[in-house]
Structure 1
Amino acid sequence: MHPATRVLLVIALATVLARASMAQVAIAGVLVAGLLPWRDAPGWRRLARGLWQLKFLFLSIAVLYLFLTPGQALWPGGEPGAVPSREGLAEGLLRVFALAALVAAVHWLMRSQSRADLIAGLGWVLRPLRLVGLDVDRVAVRLVLTLETVPRLRVMVAATRRDWARGSPWRQPAVFGARVFARAMVHAERRPPPRVWVPHDVRPPLWQLTPVVGVTAALLFWF
């Protein structure tokens, strides 16, 4: 599959998941799982670790929908329009599963191709923005390097938390953030600057783009 097609596929998935039903989210999850290579055990462990580290975000989303969406009471005998509600629980779970499917899709996008291919795909998708004077190649490179830096930053946060002398680091968030920032700056100064090759004149075949656009339009306008 062409790199630009992969990028457009993830963008289309994010667009559909923004208004999808639980059945569509389940189908999207199955499709993303089918794209991930089953024999890539390190990749599956990395995805599971990434989803687990988002547990508090998932919990926050579920709680917000649960207690801010009025509807049928969660327990029998409750008044109509009460909170927490069954509608809030259903909507919260829907948003959590949709976000998990999108995280898995981004994971597939990052692991299924090289850095150069990903930059080429992003550059082609962002090409129309050149009309407004945007340096598309620079934006694509920075976006890819940022995505590659996130796992390293996660390691730095964990290391800073282990080095905390006593007490909980979350009681002093400013000091903790300053220590993480200092560790990141030291890492950036010691690490040699990456050499990035930016491919040009990369165009995906039409037979790959047509199904992505067609299916996305069908899901958005007919379901």
Structure 2
Amino acid sequence: MAVPWGAFHFPSMIDLSIHPTTKILLWLVFAIAVQRFDFAVLALFSVIAILWMALAGGLSEGVLMLRRARWLLLSLLLIYAFATPGDPVLPLLGAFSPSLQGLRGGALQAWRLALLLVALALLLRSCPRENLLSGLYVLLRPFRKVGMNPERVAVRLWLTLHYAEQQTRQKMQAWREELRSALDPAPNVALHVSLELPAFTWRDAIVLVLATLLLGLALW
């Protein structure tokens, strides 16, 4: 699809409570820090995440996210259980028995991943598609110096999310027709994508400082 980059316009900045870029950075910091969380910290953040999603009315979205990743979580648990040496859970199986240390490690890793997915669900709920792309665009702008085109990346992400949403709404269409339509060449039409870039405020600075402190404590 031909996209006239001159039509890719970013309106003047508007005022929002927290910048989408700040939210994305906060999630990235959490994704790094969660790998160092032990049982007690994981339990604390899990309670906070559940309460947060319940108050925000997005508990069903978090459950759906975990349900879609259930086989990934189970595979992670099994890989740790059978690949980590330790005390066998079933001594009769000998070397083919999962280890107790592996089950503990796999359960913790699956728990960390599940908590990260819940945090992602919170991010997606708090950031509409346009705001999310605006935040990603701001994060990608520094890479312009190494040859990356942030406008092109933002447009491709917008198109991906747009057509994915259209396909989701067409649930009554047969899968063969969906596959055929996906393989058909896209029409050569002009596309105008407009993203609003909110201004960074003192609230963003406070959140980023707290996120940095969290990351420092987790990596200490």
Q: Is the 8 A contact 1:124 1:202 kept in 2?
A: no
Residue 92 of structure 1 pairs with residue 106 of structure 2: yes
Q: Is the 8 A contact 1:61 1:96 kept in 2?
A: yes
Q: Is the 8 A contact 2:137 2:151 kept in 1?
A: yes
What SS does the corresponding residue of 2:200 show, helix, strand or coil? coil
Question: Among 120, 142, 159, which residue is 2:134 paired with?
Answer: 120
Identify if the C-alpha distance between structure 1 residues 155 and 120 changes in structure 2 by more than 3 Å, giving closer, same or farther: closer
Residue 23 of structure 1 pairs with residue 40 of structure 2: yes
Identify if the C-alpha distance between structure 1 residues 33 and 22 changes in structure 2 by more than 3 Å, giving closer, same or farther: same
For residues 96 and 62 of structure 1, the distance between their equivalents in structure 2, rounded to whole angstroms, comes to 6
For residues 158 and 54 of structure 1, the distance between their equivalents in structure 2, rounded to whole angstroms, comes to 24
**Paired position in structure 1 for 2:65:** 50
1:97-141 per-residue CA deviation (whole Å, 9 max, x = no partner) reads: 111111111111111122222122222223322221212233244
1:171-219 per-residue CA deviation (whole Å, 9 max, x = no partner) reads: xxxxxxx886436457x969x9985322347435322221111211221
Q: Is the 8 A contact 1:72 1:82 kept in 2?
A: no
Q: Is the 8 A contact 1:61 1:95 kept in 2?
A: yes
Residue 199 of structure 1 pairs with residue 213 of structure 2: no
For residues 18 and 159 of structure 1, the distance between their equivalents in structure 2, rounded to whole angstroms, comes to 41
**Paired position in structure 1 for 2:14:** none
TM-score normalised by length of structure 1: 0.71
For residues 119 and 158 of structure 2, the distance between their equivalents in structure 1, rounded to whole angstroms, comes to 15
Q: Is the 8 A contact 1:68 1:83 kept in 2?
A: no
Residue 4 of structure 1 pairs with residue 2 of structure 2: no
**Paired position in structure 2 for 1:209:** 208
**Paired position in structure 2 for 1:169:** none
Q: Is the 8 A contact 1:73 1:86 kept in 2?
A: yes
| Structure 1, 87-96 or 146-155: larger mean CA deviation | 146-155
For residues 33 and 46 of structure 2, the distance between their equivalents in structure 1, rounded to whole angstroms, comes to 12
Name the aligned partner's letter for residue 45 of structure 1: S
Q: Is the 8 A contact 1:62 1:92 kept in 2?
A: yes
Question: Among 180, 187, 190, which residue is 1:182 paired with?
Answer: 180
For residues 67 and 140 of structure 1, the distance between their equivalents in structure 2, rounded to whole angstroms, comes to 42
**Paired position in structure 2 for 1:14:** 31
**Paired position in structure 2 for 1:166:** none
For residues 172 and 103 of structure 2, the distance between their equivalents in structure 1, rounded to whole angstroms, comes to 32
What number of residue pairs does the alignment pair up?
Answer: 200
| Structure 1, 46-55 or 88-97: larger mean CA deviation | 46-55
Q: Once superposed, what is the RMSD of the aligned Cα atoms?
A: 3.5
Name the aligned partner's letter for residue 71 of structure 2: F
User: How high is the sequence identity, in percent, across the aligned residues?
Assistant: 29
TM-score normalised by length of structure 2: 0.71
